[in-house]
Amino acid sequence: MGVKKQWRFREEGLSNTLLLIGFLIVSAIITGATINDSSNPFLGLLGILTLPTYLVFRNKFFRKKIEILEANTSPDWIKNEEWRKWEAPLDLVRGESYRQKALQQFAGKPRSNGYLVPVCVQLVREPSNKYDPNAIKAEIGGSHVGYIAKEIAAKLASAMDATNIQSFAIAGLIRGGSFKTPSLGVHIWLNKRLSQAPIININKTYLTQYQVSWPPHENEGTSDDTTKEVYGNLHFAPRKSTEKQGYYLGRHYTEYVETIKELKRVGDLEKAEQLLQELIKAVEAESRAEKWGVAPWYYEQLAIIYRKRKDYLKEIEVLERFAKQKHAPGASPPKLLERLEKARKLALKSAPNNQPQIRP
**Does the structure show a pLDDT above 50 at 321?**
yes
Query: Which pLDDT does position 22 carry in this prediction?
Result: 64
- In the chain, the percentage of residues whose pLDDT exceeds 70 is 76
**Does the structure show a pLDDT above 50 at 9?**
no
> 314 CB contacts (<8 Å, ≥6 apart)?
306
| Rounded-to-integer distance, Cα 273 and Cα 305, Å | 7
**Does the structure show a pLDDT above 90 at 313?**
yes
| pLDDT tens digits, one per residue of 51-84 | 556 555 555 554 445 578 999 999 999 989 999 9
Query: Which pLDDT does position 235 carry in this prediction?
Result: 73
How much is the pTM? Answer: 0.52
Contact 171, 152 (CB under 8 A): no
Query: Which pLDDT does position 199 carry in this prediction?
Result: 87
193 compared with 265, residue with greater pLDDT: 193
User: Taking phi first (over 0 means left), then psi (-120 to 50 degrees means alpha), and beta for anything else, what does residue 312 get?
Assistant: alpha
Query: Which pLDDT does position 333 carry in this prediction?
Result: 83
For the ranges 44-53, 83-92, 122-131, the lowest mean pLDDT is seen at 44-53
Query: Which pLDDT does position 110 carry in this prediction?
Result: 86
For the ranges 81-90, 207-216, 219-228, the lowest mean pLDDT is seen at 219-228
Residue 331 burial class via C-beta count within 10 angstroms: exposed 0-12, middle 13-18, buried 19 and up: exposed
| Rounded-to-integer distance, Cα 198 and Cα 283, Å | 46
**Does the structure show a pLDDT above 50 at 229?**
no
Query: Which pLDDT does position 59 carry in this prediction?
Result: 52
Query: Which pLDDT does position 26 carry in this prediction?
Result: 62
| Rounded-to-integer distance, Cα 286 and Cα 281, Å | 9
**Does the structure show a pLDDT above 50 at 11?**
no
Query: Which pLDDT does position 276 carry in this prediction?
Result: 96
Q: pLDDT band for 2, please (50, 70, 90 cuts).
A: very low
147 compared with 260, residue with greater pLDDT: 147
Fold of 82-210: Alpha-Beta Plaits (3.30.70)
User: Taking phi first (over 0 means left), then psi (-120 to 50 degrees means alpha), and beta for anything else, what does residue 43 get?
Assistant: alpha
For the ranges 18-22, 158-162, 171-175, the lowest mean pLDDT is seen at 18-22
Query: Which pLDDT does position 232 carry in this prediction?
Result: 53
**Does the structure show a pLDDT above 70 at 31?**
no
For the ranges 40-49, 75-84, 324-333, the lowest mean pLDDT is seen at 40-49
64 compared with 334, residue with greater pLDDT: 334
Domain spans in the chain, listed from the N-terminal domain onward: 5-67, 82-210, 227-357
Query: Which pLDDT does position 234 carry in this prediction?
Result: 66
The CATH code of the domain at 227-357 is 1.25.40
Query: Which pLDDT does position 285 carry in this prediction?
Result: 94
**Does the structure show a pLDDT above 90 at 190?**
yes
- What does the mean pLDDT of the chain come to? 83
Query: Which pLDDT does position 227 carry in this prediction?
Result: 47
Residue 298 burial class via C-beta count within 10 angstroms: exposed 0-12, middle 13-18, buried 19 and up: buried
Query: Which pLDDT does position 133 carry in this prediction?
Result: 96
Rounded to an integer, the average pLDDT of 259-273 is 85
